Structure 1
Amino acid sequence: MRGLHLLLLICLFSFHLPSNNFATNETDKFALLSFKSLMSNDSFEALASWNDSLHYCLWQGVRCGNRHPDRVTALSLGSLSLSGHISPSLANLTFLQRLNLSDNQLTGNIPAELGHLSRLQNLNLSVNKLDGNIPTELGHLTRLQDLHLGLNNLVGNIPSTIGNCSNLKFLGLRNNNLQGTIPPQFGFLELLEILNLGANNLTESIPSTLGNLTHLSELYLFGNNLDCNIPVEIGHLSRLQILRLDRNNLDGNIPAELGHLSRLQILSLGVNNLDGNIPSTLGNCSNLEYIYMNSNNLQGSIPPQFCFLEQLKELSLQTNNLTESIPSTLGNLTHLSALYLYENNLDGFIPPTLGQLKALKNLSLHANNLSGKIPHFIYNLSAMVDLRLSRNQLDGNTTAEIPFCDP
């Protein structure tokens, strides 16, 4: 009886493992060999096993299916220093669900034929040297969940057809040379969780339709040439944790509706042309850890409601036109490690409540209109590594009297 059990186990084990006796789908095999033929450098010899001594389902980076054991369902060749062009013949791998060629040295265009891979769920071509346009045909990939094309040399407009990929959860196009507008059709990607279009050359306004992306947790539009106002509809993104709109040409007021983003952890709006007052409603974003609003044209006072941001670690409001005094309520921010308020028009005294900020490492208040004596608590902040108080109207020497000061 034990021998019979052993025989059954061997049979089952053999059934589930690929072997050289497996049926061969010549189309899939030749598609893979076509890919190999266009590789000009394989310094790690990742494709050395791609020959007739092994069934192609056993080649490095290749995975075949369970229901169709002769059909390739995944090709994963990331971080192997491969050089060459992507073969259009990969489109013949009609059962392919995952294609990962990231972090290589691939050049040339993204083949439009990849848009025929109707079963594809994950496409990762990021961190290569690919150029040309993003094929509009990728909009045919209705099962696609993750599209990674960032850190390449792609140019042209973002195809509006990507708005047809209704199952997308991740869309990453950062660090390319993409131009034109953000397609308003992205508002149809209702399952999208992460949208990263940062560090491109995108222009015009942020589409209000992005407010439809109610599953969005991270939105990166930094480092473009976007202009006009921040859409109030961004305040509808109740799951948003990271909002990076810094280094654009955005103008107008910061929408008070951003105060509805109760899960927000990072708010980065620096280096724009924003004006008006800082909305006090941001005090409702109780999970905020980092606020960057530096290098704008913001006016008015620092909202005392910031005292409710008990998780805040860094507050950067430097290089604006802020006036009035530093709120004493900032002393409630016991996790604060960096406070940058320099190059504004703040006046009054340095509030003694800042002495409660035992985690404070960086305090930059220089180039304001602050007056009065330098408070003694400054000397008791043991975590302090960088203090800047110069170019104010403070009594005493704002550099030499403070041993950790960087003048």
Structure 2
Amino acid sequence: MSIMLLLSFGVLCSAVPENNTEDMLSLIGFKQAITYDPSGILKHWNSSTTFCRWEGIKCSRRHPGRIVELHLAGLKLSGQISSLVGNLTFLKKLNLSTNGLSGRLPPLNRLHRLQILDLGYNSLQDTIPDALANCSKLRKLFLSYNSFVGEIPPKLGLLSNLSDLRFNTNNLTGTIPSTFSNSSSIQVMSLSYNHLSGGIPDELGKLPSIRWLALGGNRLIGGFPQGLLNLSNSLRVLGLESNKLGNRLPLNIGDSLSNLQWLFLNRNMFQGKIPASLGNVSGMERLELENNNFTGEIPSSLGKLKSLYYLNLGGNGLEAKDAQSWEFFNVLINCSGLNILALDRNQLDGTIPGSIGNLSNSLEMLTLGGNKLSGIVPTSVANLQSLINLGFDYNNLSGKIVEWVGMLTKLQSLNLYQNKFSGPIPSSMGNLTQLTLLSLALNEFEGPIPSSLGIFNSSHC
């Protein structure tokens, strides 16, 4: 039967290494299950050459004729993954990512040598088989961007060699298995953007090597996991955004997680003050705390974060009422690489400090809308020559818009909506030829619309 099947696919028996028809049959079964092959690569899987030379196939040198790698990523293949792939018992790397494969992931429990399994960016469905736990040498397990459902198999915590686990952007439910604490080699764990619920297990704080932990975009509840504070030596990226986490942040979060570079806590229900200890995370580059319930003053200690390029504190209840509480703004000039600064939708009160013009030369986005700001816009804002997005909307700012606006020639978005600006619209706005959004409504401007506004590049209108 095997010989007849090989011949029916145009494969010469002499091209099949002795005692290894099984690997050949597995490849033929794989090809059979593919319904769409726009690049035509699988058409060349024929008797014109030995299967070890077929594109995407690599065979072992020590064990001639045994397949150790099947790599067909990014070819837009459609169809299902044949269960016969599970018979490639010498396989070390299986990469079928970025295709259009669908159906169930077949049992691969016989692949005891498998080290890398990458099936990301497909349309695979059903549950993740717990038989993957039998692939004891797995180091990288990528199933991201599929349609897997059901719970994450707790047995996967038995994979002691696992260093990179990515299940993000699926439809997984249930809780995060605490058994992952046994996978002491894990450096990257991404379970974000699923439908996971329950609390974050403190056991994840027992992963001594983890650098990247992404759990955002789920339905996780509870407070900030105390166990994670044990990851001071390893953790570089922590993503808990878009969940239902709440309560106060630990006051010592910045002292305990002193090696963080990116921290995403946005779109949760955290409350209380922003811990001043975050200013001790000297390597912090990106800090996102927007859309929570933080109150009180913005800690001036954030000005010590010299590597900071992205700071988003918008959508909270943060306050500034006097010179002392506005001090954070003055010290942010020490963040010389700051690219994004979002302070919109808070309770910032009073006039904008003149030190605004001393902020980073590389600042591209500055949003102060939705506060209680009053007075005039300092002319020093003209120093921010790299600005692309500037928002002062929904405040009580007044006075004339003077020539500073025409000096920000890289602006693509200027939002002055609903303030008390008065006087004429300056003709220098005609210098802003890159604008795609200009909002001046609900102010007290008067006089004619400057003819210079008509010189905007029509491709941006």
Residue in structure 2 matched with residue 329 of structure 1 by the alignment: 355
CA separation in 1, counterparts of 2:174 and 2:429? 53
Judging changes above 3 Å, is the alpha-carbon distance between structure 1 residues 46 and 152 closer, same or farther for their aligned structure 2 residues? farther
Amino acid corresponding to residue 406 of structure 1 in structure 2? S
Please say if 1:352 is aligned against 2:345: no
Q: Deviations over 1:78-116 (max 9, x none)?
A: 12322221112x111111111111222211111111112
TM-score by length of 2: 0.75
CA shift for structure 1 position 231: 3.2
CA shift for structure 1 position 141: 0.4
Residue in structure 1 matched with residue 91 of structure 2 by the alignment: 72
Please say if 1:148 is aligned against 2:161: no
CA shift for structure 1 position 193: 1.6
CA shift for structure 1 position 237: 2.7
* 8 Å Cα contact 2:401/2:426 also seen in 1: no
Q: 2:36 aligns with which of 43, 52, 71?
A: 43
Q: Deviations over 1:244-276 (max 9, x none)?
A: 111112212111111112222211111111111
CA separation in 1, counterparts of 2:55 and 2:196? 33
Q: 2:278 aligns with which of 258, 262, 267?
A: 258
Judging changes above 3 Å, is the alpha-carbon distance between structure 1 residues 401 and 357 closer, same or farther for their aligned structure 2 residues? closer
CA shift for structure 1 position 238: 3.1
Q: Deviations over 1:125-159 (max 9, x none)?
A: 11111111100000000100111111111111111
Q: Over the residues paired in the alignment, what is the CA RMSD in angstroms? A: 3.0
Residue in structure 2 matched with residue 298 of structure 1 by the alignment: 318
Judging changes above 3 Å, is the alpha-carbon distance between structure 1 residues 135 and 61 closer, same or farther for their aligned structure 2 residues? farther
* 8 Å Cα contact 1:205/1:229 also seen in 2: yes
CA shift for structure 1 position 58: 6.3
1:210-221 superposed matches below 5 A: 210-213=228-231, 214-221=233-240
Residue in structure 2 matched with residue 99 of structure 1 by the alignment: 117
Judging changes above 3 Å, is the alpha-carbon distance between structure 1 residues 241 and 66 closer, same or farther for their aligned structure 2 residues? farther
Residue in structure 2 matched with residue 181 of structure 1 by the alignment: 199
CA shift for structure 1 position 47: 7.0
SS of 1:346's partner is: strand
CA separation in 2, counterparts of 1:172 and 1:102? 12
| Unaligned segments of structure 1, at least 5 residues | 1-18
Amino acid corresponding to residue 281 of structure 2 in structure 1? L
* 8 Å Cα contact 2:252/2:275 also seen in 1: no
Please say if 1:246 is aligned against 2:272: no
CA separation in 2, counterparts of 1:29 and 1:130? 29
Residue in structure 1 matched with residue 303 of structure 2 by the alignment: 283
Residue in structure 2 matched with residue 12 of structure 1 by the alignment: none
Judging changes above 3 Å, is the alpha-carbon distance between structure 1 residues 81 and 361 closer, same or farther for their aligned structure 2 residues? closer
CA separation in 2, counterparts of 1:344 and 1:216? 35
CA separation in 2, counterparts of 1:49 and 1:102? 25
Higher RCO (CA < 8 A, seq sep 6+): 1
CA shift for structure 1 position 223: 1.4
* Equivalences, count: 385
* 8 Å Cα contact 1:42/1:82 also seen in 2: no
1:4-403 superposed matches below 5 A: 20-21=16-17, 24=20, 36=30, 41-44=34-37, 63=58, 65=60, 70=66, 71-88=90-107, 90-213=108-231, 214-235=233-254, 236-300=256-320, 301-302=325-326, 303=328, 304-332=330-358, 333-397=360-424, 402-403=429-430
CA shift for structure 1 position 393: 3.7
Judging changes above 3 Å, is the alpha-carbon distance between structure 1 residues 121 and 166 closer, same or farther for their aligned structure 2 residues? same
Q: Deviations over 1:325-376 (max 9, x none)?
A: 3222221221112210011112333222212111122221122233444343
SS of 1:360's partner is: coil
* 8 Å Cα contact 2:402/2:426 also seen in 1: no
* 8 Å Cα contact 2:238/2:264 also seen in 1: yes
TM-score by length of 1: 0.85
Judging changes above 3 Å, is the alpha-carbon distance between structure 1 residues 98 and 385 closer, same or farther for their aligned structure 2 residues? closer
Judging changes above 3 Å, is the alpha-carbon distance between structure 1 residues 106 and 140 closer, same or farther for their aligned structure 2 residues? same
CA shift for structure 1 position 397: 4.7
CA separation in 2, counterparts of 1:50 and 1:243? 48
CA shift for structure 1 position 226: 1.4
Amino acid corresponding to residue 103 of structure 2 in structure 1? G
CA separation in 2, counterparts of 1:205 and 1:114? 32
* 8 Å Cα contact 1:63/1:72 also seen in 2: no
Identical-residue share of aligned pairs (%): 37
Amino acid corresponding to residue 16 of structure 2 in structure 1? N
* 8 Å Cα contact 2:164/2:186 also seen in 1: yes
CA shift for structure 1 position 295: 0.9
CA separation in 1, counterparts of 2:411 and 2:331? 25
* 8 Å Cα contact 2:393/2:417 also seen in 1: yes
SS of 1:91's partner is: coil
Per mean C-alpha deviation after superposition, the further-off stretch among 322-331 and 176-185 is 322-331
* 8 Å Cα contact 2:142/2:167 also seen in 1: yes
SS of 2:162's partner is: coil
| Unaligned segments of structure 2, at least 5 residues | 1-14, 67-89, 433-437, 441-461
Judging changes above 3 Å, is the alpha-carbon distance between structure 1 residues 272 and 50 closer, same or farther for their aligned structure 2 residues? farther
Amino acid corresponding to residue 209 of structure 2 in structure 1? L
CA separation in 1, counterparts of 2:413 and 2:377? 16
* 8 Å Cα contact 2:290/2:316 also seen in 1: yes
